[in-house]
Amino acid sequence: MVSILVNEVILSSWKLGISLPKKGFENGYIVIADPEEYFSDKPPLPSSNLPKDLIIGENLLVYYETRQQWNSYNPSQYKDWQSATSRKSPLGGQYVARVPDTTSQDDSLIRQGYIDSNSGGQGAGIRVYEYASSEEIEATRYQLSFLAWRTEGIMDIARDERIQNSDECKQKIDKECEKLGVAELKLLEEHRIIDSQQRAICPLCLKPILAQELASRVEQAEGRNVPDLTVTTANLFHIQELRAGEYNHCSYNLLVCNKWGCFLQKFKFKLTFTVLRKPVLPMLYTAIIIV
């Protein structure tokens, strides 16, 4: 399986347009179009509204996600059309399909393009609003480490884990964060990420984040236990939500909330929180101790 990182290939609807980051996308991008958007009245000819710089199979793919689209514009009827197999140009095909199954006995799940190692790996990339450059990813990780070292009990955990020179580790992180410009205490306090005592806090209840919450798994309901649970009692959120045209997967926009009950109080604040889809705190916790 090929992993997808937040700076790999970007997928964006051509109708929305592409708002480029200042330094562009590190690994290029693929634009996707619904069949109704791409095809003219005489498929497979493209619509006259298609931007001239978009070329099918080079930087553009048709994306099938409904049964109606598949039935109306079935790619098997178009000469030389095949599913894409590469994230780099040329893409090895003209389309990708992710059509769910239906209750009809005649229908079945359709997954074509980017499904295994023989077809380019799992998935073509990430959505444009999830993008972050390698530089921003590094800065954000360091800032999260900076905050973790300011959680209550972090030194006790470091001692229990037999981490030597924990003070030196903290100083190393602080120094690097200052170099990267992600250790501005005033700004962190304004964003309710730390308090006046420089402790990492929950921005909703303003209570200190406990280091143990970064590693403790949530309690599972009886009968629903799974062996690979990675959800922790503390959760990572975006202050400003991820949306097309903005690049909010960045430093000073990620924070920790220590209770779901606090999350329910979000309506009391003029903040928008988007919970991250992947449980990153367990990995973060481990990285902090090792650094």
pLDDT in tens, the chain (291 residues): 333 455 666 677 777 666 778 888 888 889 999 999 999 999 999 999 998 889 999 999 999 999 999 999 999 999 999 999 998 899 999 999 999 987 777 778 999 999 887 776 777 788 888 889 999 999 999 999 999 999 999 999 888 888 889 999 999 999 999 999 999 999 999 988 999 999 999 887 888 999 988 877 656 555 556 565 556 677 788 888 888 778 888 999 987 776 554 554 444 444 444 444 343 343 343 334 433
Residues 67 and 121 in one domain: yes
H helices then E strands: how many in the chain?
Answer: 8, 9
Q: Does residue 2 sit within a domain?
A: no
8 A C-beta contact, residue 11 and residue 127: yes
Half-sphere exposure of 110 (CA within 13 A, CB side): 21
For residues 64 and 99, membership in a common domain is answered with yes
Asked whether residue 111 falls in the same domain as residue 231, the answer is: no
Query: How many structural domains are present in the chain?
Result: 2
Q: Give the integer Cα–Cα distance in Å for 111 and 237.
A: 31
Determine phi and psi for 194, rounding to 5 degrees: -130, 165
Residue 208 β-bridge partners? 201
Domain shared by 71 and 157, yes or no: no
The answer to whether residues 57 and 161 belong to one domain is: no
Domain shared by 250 and 140, yes or no: yes
Residue 86 carries which DSSP code? -
Say if CB 151 and CB 211 are below 8 A apart. yes
> Which of 97, 130, 163 is at the close of a domain?
130
Tell me: do 178 and 104 sit in the same domain: no
- Establish if 3 belongs to a structural domain: no
The pLDDT of residue 176: 97
At 219 the pLDDT is 61
Neighbours of 152 (CB within 10 A): 16
Q: Do 30 and 98 have their domain in common? A: yes
Question: Do 118 and 153 have their domain in common?
Answer: no
62 and 171 share a domain?
no
pTM of the predicted structure, to 2 decimals? 0.76
Domain with 258 in it? 134-290
